[in-house]
C-alpha cells in the first residue's frame, strides 16, 4: 500500500518534470540573415516575441547610405532580385501604408543608414506574432521574410510605398534561445 502510493507520487512527479521541460511555444525567437542580390551578407536580424508584439533587432553592415524601406514580406523565400518574397505581409488584406488610413502588418518605419553603411536599430511590430497557428503569424505555411528596399517608403502608395528595388532579403527562421547572446536563460511562458 505504502509502496504503491510512493510509486504514484513518483509517477506524477515524472509527468510534471516532462511538462516543464517541454519547449515553451513553438518559436519565441527567430533570426534572419540579410543578403544582397550578389549573396553578400549585409545584416543580421533577431526577432523576439514580447507581450507587445515582435521586437526586431537589426544590425546592418555595409548597406548603401540613405533612407531605405524595411518590410516584412509574405513569403519566406529570398532569391535575387527577391520578387520571390512576394508582397508585403498582409493577413488583413488591407492597403499599404501607415499614412493611408490602413497599412499592412508588415509595414515598418524606414531605416536611415549613415555614411559608413552600418546601422543598429530595434523596431517593435505590434501587428505580427511568432506564435504558430495565429492569422498574423510570421510562421504561416509559406513563411515570411525581411526585405530592405533601395528607396524610402512614402507610407501611402499601394502596394509597396514606391520604395523601388529590393536590395536585401532574409528568410525569417525559428531560432533557439541559445543562439542569441542577450537572451535570458529561460523565457517565461507567454501569457494567454
Ligand atoms: Zn505595405
| Predicted local confidence at residue 72, as pLDDT | 98
| Predicted local confidence at residue 55, as pLDDT | 98
Distance from the alpha carbon of residue 161 to the mean position of ligand 1, in angstroms: 7
Residue 9 in domain: no
Instruction: Classify each residue of 128-148 as buried b or exposed e, where b means 16 or more C-beta atoms within 10 Å of its C-beta.
Output: bbbbeeeebbbbbeebbbbbb
| Predicted local confidence at residue 98, as pLDDT | 95
Residue 6 in domain: no
Query: Are 55 and 138 contacting, i.e. CB atoms less than 8 angstroms apart?
Result: no
Residue 5 in domain: no
Query: Are 71 and 146 contacting, i.e. CB atoms less than 8 angstroms apart?
Result: yes
Distance from the alpha carbon of residue 163 to the mean position of ligand 1, in angstroms: 10
Per-residue HEC secondary structure of 57-76 comes to: EEEECCCCCEEEEEEEECCC
End-to-end CA distance of the chain: 41
Task: For ligand 1, an ion, list residues with CB under 5 A.
Answer: 88, 96, 104, 107
Distance from the alpha carbon of residue 97 to the mean position of ligand 1, in angstroms: 5
Which residues of the chain fall short of a pLDDT of 70?
1-27, 176-192
Distance from the alpha carbon of residue 93 to the mean position of ligand 1, in angstroms: 10
CATH number of the domain bearing residue 109: 2.60.40.200
Q: Which domain holds residue 50?
A: 29-178
| Predicted local confidence at residue 138, as pLDDT | 97
CA distances from 136 to 51, 69, 92, 111, 157 (A): 14, 21, 8, 23, 22
**What gap in Å lies between CA 130 and CA 135, rounded to an integer?**
11
- What is the pTM (predicted TM-score) of this model? 0.79
Residue in this structure with the C-alpha cell 543598429, named with its chain if needed:
120
- Read off the C-alpha cell for 57: 533587432
Residue 7 in domain: no
| Predicted local confidence at residue 191, as pLDDT | 52
Query: Are 48 and 182 contacting, i.e. CB atoms less than 8 angstroms apart?
Result: no
| Coil, helix or strand at residue 13 | helix
| Predicted local confidence at residue 190, as pLDDT | 54
| Predicted local confidence at residue 179, as pLDDT | 42
| Predicted local confidence at residue 93, as pLDDT | 97
Any bridge partners for residue 44, and if so which?
33, 59
Q: How many domains does the chain have?
A: 1
| Predicted local confidence at residue 16, as pLDDT | 47
Residue 63 in domain: yes
Residue 10 in domain: no
What is the DSSP annotation of 119-176?
EEEEEEETT-BSSTTSTTBSSSTT--EEEEESS---S-STTTTT--SEEEEEE-EE--
Residue 1 in domain: no
Residue 191 in domain: no
Distance from the alpha carbon of residue 137 to the mean position of ligand 1, in angstroms: 16
Amino acid at each position: 500500500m505504502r509502496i504503491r502510493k510512493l510509486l504514484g507520487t513518483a509517477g506524477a512527479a515524472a509527468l510534471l518534470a516532462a511538462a516543464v521541460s517541454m519547449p515553451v511555444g513553438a518559436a519565441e525567437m527567430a533570426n534572419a540573415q540579410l543578403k544582397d542580390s550578389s549573396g553578400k551578407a549585409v545584416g543580421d536580424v533577431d526577432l523576439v516575441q514580447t507581450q507587445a508584439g515582435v521586437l526586431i533587432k537589426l544590425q546592418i553592415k555595409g548597406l548603401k547610405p540613405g533612407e531605405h524601406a524595411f518590410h516584412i514580406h509574405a513569403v519566406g523565400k529570398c532569391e535575387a532580385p527577391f520578387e520571390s518574397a512576394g508582397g508585403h505581409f498582409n493577413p488583413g488584406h488591407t492597403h499599404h501604408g501607415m499614412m493611408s488610413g490602413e497599412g499592412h502588418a508588415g509595414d515598418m518605419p524606414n531605416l536611415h543608414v549613415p555614411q559608413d553603411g552600418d546601422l543598429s536599430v530595434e523596431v517593435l511590430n505590434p501587428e505580427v506574432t511568432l506564435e504558430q497557428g495565429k492569422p498574423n503569424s510570421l510562421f504561416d505555411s509559406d513563411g515570411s521574410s525581411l526585405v530592405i528596399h533601395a528607396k524610402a517608403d512614402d507610407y501611402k502608395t499601394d502596394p509597396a510605398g514606391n520604395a523601388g528595388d529590393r536590395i536585401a532579403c532574409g528568410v525569417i527562421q525559428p531560432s533557439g534561445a541559445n543562439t542569441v547572446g542577450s537572451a535570458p536563460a529561460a523565457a517565461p511562458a507567454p501569457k494567454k
